[in-house]
Amino acid sequence: MSTAESITKNVASLYIGEIISQILTFFLVIAIARYLGDAGLGKYSFVFSFVALFLILADMGLPTLITKEVAKNKALTKAHLTKTFTLKILLNIVTFFITIAAIWFSRKDTETILLVTLAGIAMFFYNLAGMYRAIFQAYELMKYEASSRVIERFIAAGLGIFLFYRGYGIVSLFLVLIFSNIVYYFMLYILTKTKISEVSLAIDVESWKQNLKESMPFWITTVFISIYFRIDTIMLGFMKGFAVTGWYNAALKIIEVITRIPFLLIVAVFPALAKFHRLSYDKTKLLYEKSFYYMILLALPIATGLILLADRVILHIYSSEFTNSVIALQILAASLIFIFVNYLMGYLLNAIDRQKLFTLTSGITTIFNILLNVILIPKYSYIGAAVATLISEILSFSMLYYLTSKNKFSINLAKIVAKPIIANIAMIGFVIYLKNLHLILIISISAIIYFLVILAIKGIGKEEINLLQSLTQKK
């Protein structure tokens, strides 16, 4: 199979699995919002943001390092599934107790402390499974992770919604999440053991030191990114209460679902970028340029559609209790255009061994975002948090575009965005013209119009069309 076909098949596997997973997750979020209200959604969002912030201590950049190294040399698989896996277990245990200590010292709310403890247990198993996800990514076999995640989401959403319907509260949901993540962990363990390699434990302090040294730039980047994406929810929870946090996260959850699109594309493309960097600059740049274009192609209509239809989207998904979320969704939607390409540019720097530059930009963006949140949240509440995110993404884009260009991966932005903008203008006209139709019909027809225009102006070339045709014909 060619590299292009391999990437496309992995993207397809991930997207199918992720679409199903995100639909199930979104059903669960909607159930939380409708059964527990804005404060309930706010508390749920705060708890998982709090736990995720500390969970970066257990990451240490090891999954990214493993993916990169194993993609280059499959012979390293066994070593990482023994020595590095043992290290990950120890890191997860230490992180769990640090998280519990932190919530005890920061809040007196007994229920919040309990929920953080339960979420910490659930995330312990999810994070530990990150080793298996990294191996599957390196082998370009992401379909196994995708199918396992779908099963986990079916358990979490199905049981969670059922318990809400039966009158149980938020604690029952967190118990379900522990169960679903344990199931998820053992599915990946069995798949890794049967499809790739045995999984065992081994203590090798020297190997741990070497791996941690090499993974440190990846980890520091992860620290900055995790803080960046969680700090607004945590600050709102402490400073403005759970109801306001719920309004903001009603919009943010929609954005988080959408940002899985670029993230999953990067997961599929990253191993190929890393391999090509060793073999051919021309192939690396071609893959990067193609990926950049398709990021813009997808991001532009999604961002525009959300801005135009934000009020109807919020009311359709949630209820009138979340009307305050509309303006937050519009502001956050504008940031999607930058988020899509920022993911790609950052991971390109990782692939070409310029990870320290990605770390630097992530650090500057995070510090800038925290300062903006400190300034804007006290006065403008959740709207200030949304504005801080948009401005920070623009800053990140500016730095990453400069750094990738300086490293011989410049992109002609005018040429890249020209055809998507033409199609987007046509789509905007139809959205306005069709404003009285049902929301689902507006979205469906507008999407069709957008891609028909793209095809008409040859925004998708014969190469991509032939590739898709060849893939659908394969048995």
Could you tell me the mean pLDDT of each successive run of 10 residues in the chain, 475 residues long?
53 67 83 86 87 81 72 70 79 89 80 90 87 76 78 90 86 92 90 77 73 72 77 87 89 86 71 70 80 88 92 85 91 92 86 81 90 93 94 94 89 87 90 84 90 85 52 40
* Encoded tokens for 373: 């949140």
Q: Quick one: which of 129, 247, 143, 136 has its CA closest to 189?
A: 129
For 252, residues 6+ apart whose C-beta sits below 8 A from its C-beta are: 45, 233, 328, 332
* Encoded tokens for 196: 């790739």
d(Cα 41, Cα 245) in Å, to the nearest integer?
A: 8
pLDDT on residue 422 = 93
Q: Quick one: which of 307, 294, 293 has its CA closest to 414?
A: 293
d(Cα 365, Cα 442) in Å, to the nearest integer?
A: 36
The three-point CA angle 198-204-206 to 5° equals: 135
d(Cα 173, Cα 150) in Å, to the nearest integer?
A: 18
Q: Quick one: which of 358, 361, 362, 354 has its CA closest to 277?
A: 354
User: Using an 8 Å Cβ cutoff, are 371 and 392 in contact?
Assistant: no
d(Cα 87, Cα 212) in Å, to the nearest integer?
A: 10
- Using the Cα atoms of residue 399, residue 403, residue 406 and residue 408 in order, give the sign of their dihedral: negative
pLDDT on residue 12 = 60
pLDDT on residue 40 = 85
pLDDT on residue 468 = 45
pLDDT on residue 285 = 81
Q: What is the pTM of this model?
A: 0.76
pLDDT on residue 183 = 93
For 123, residues 6+ apart whose C-beta sits below 8 A from its C-beta are: 48, 51, 52, 55, 181
* Encoded tokens for 389: 């995110």
CB atoms within 10 A of CB 426: 18
- Please provide the size of the chain in residues: 475
